[in-house]
Structure 1
Amino acid sequence: MSVLHKNKVTKIQSSYVLEQERKEKRAMQRRRIAIIRFTLLSGILLALSSVLLYTLISQSANIEAKIEEKQKLEHKLEKLEKKERQLKEEIKKLNDDEYITELARKNYFLSKEGEIIFTVPEE
């Protein structure tokens, strides 16, 4: 019923009422400014946290890739060090005359004087 009838009460035009209306307007403006500041600050913090989170995720993926690459390279290094040790042993053996004669007899079927070499087929 109040919707159909307009409010016919008039405001008192005193200095106190006008002062109170000004205070309400200032308070409303301050609230609006505070809401705008809060929204703006929230947006900035959200953007900043998004950038930092993206950086963190990309760096962790980068670190994982580097760790995997490091493990592969360490494994390759172990193989190469093992091959190096074998080659050094081979060099030492090649300086020995007995090893060279045994190698020549085995690979090139060379024999000593009066010796007969028989080759047996492998299975």
Structure 2
Amino acid sequence: MNTVREKSIAKIQTTYVKQKEVAEIASARKRKLLLRRLSMFFVLAVVVSYFMISSYIFQTSALDTKMAQKGKLDEELAELQKQQQVLKEDIIKLNDDDYIAKLARKEYFFSDNNEVIFTIPEKN
């Protein structure tokens, strides 16, 4: 005969006890609101961090491709500047009548008066 007895305890109904119960409920409500605010702040911080990191990675990769493209274009620019210098020298030479005559004799086998042209085969 083991019977479980329920203990019935009566609460003291004083204003102090009522104030403490209200204060405990308010404290629990404040704690719950604080946890909600902190969790929302954490979620917002994670989202902002994700966007910042992803934009940083995207910009870094874009910068790397631009730098590689700049390197290629610098090489092409140097080559074109060399070619431009050669062409400027050719322009200066082509303004000289003696050079034009020498070039015409060499390339197109023109000859001066009383001049015989011999072609020698090139050695491979």
Scaled by the length of structure 2, the TM-score of the pair is 0.84
Greater shift, 13-22 or 27-36, is seen at 13-22
Q: Which amino acid aligns with 1:108?
A: Y
Deviation per residue, 1:69-105 (Å, 9 max, x gap): 2222222221211111111100110111221111111
Counterpart position of 1:96: 96
In 2, the alpha carbon distance for the partners of 1:101 and 1:80 equals 29
Scaled by the length of structure 1, the TM-score of the pair is 0.84
Partner SS for 2:121: coil
Q: Which amino acid aligns with 1:83?
A: Q
| 1:61–1:97 CA distance, 2 compared to 1 (3 A) | same
In 2, the alpha carbon distance for the partners of 1:7 and 1:66 equals 80
Greater shift, 110-119 or 87-96, is seen at 110-119
Structure 1 residue 5: Cα displacement:
5.9
In 2, the alpha carbon distance for the partners of 1:27 and 1:17 equals 15
Structure 1 residue 114: Cα displacement:
3.0
Q: Which runs of 4+ in 1 moved over 6 A?
A: none
Query: Percent same amino acid at aligned positions?
Result: 36
Q: CA RMSD in A?
A: 1.8
1:1-123 → structure 2 map (5 Å cutoff): 6-122=6-122, 123=124
In 2, the alpha carbon distance for the partners of 1:5 and 1:55 equals 67
In 2, the alpha carbon distance for the partners of 1:70 and 1:24 equals 68
Deviation per residue, 1:33-83 (Å, 9 max, x gap): 000000111111111121122222222222222222222222222121111
* Count of aligned residue pairs for this structure pair: 120
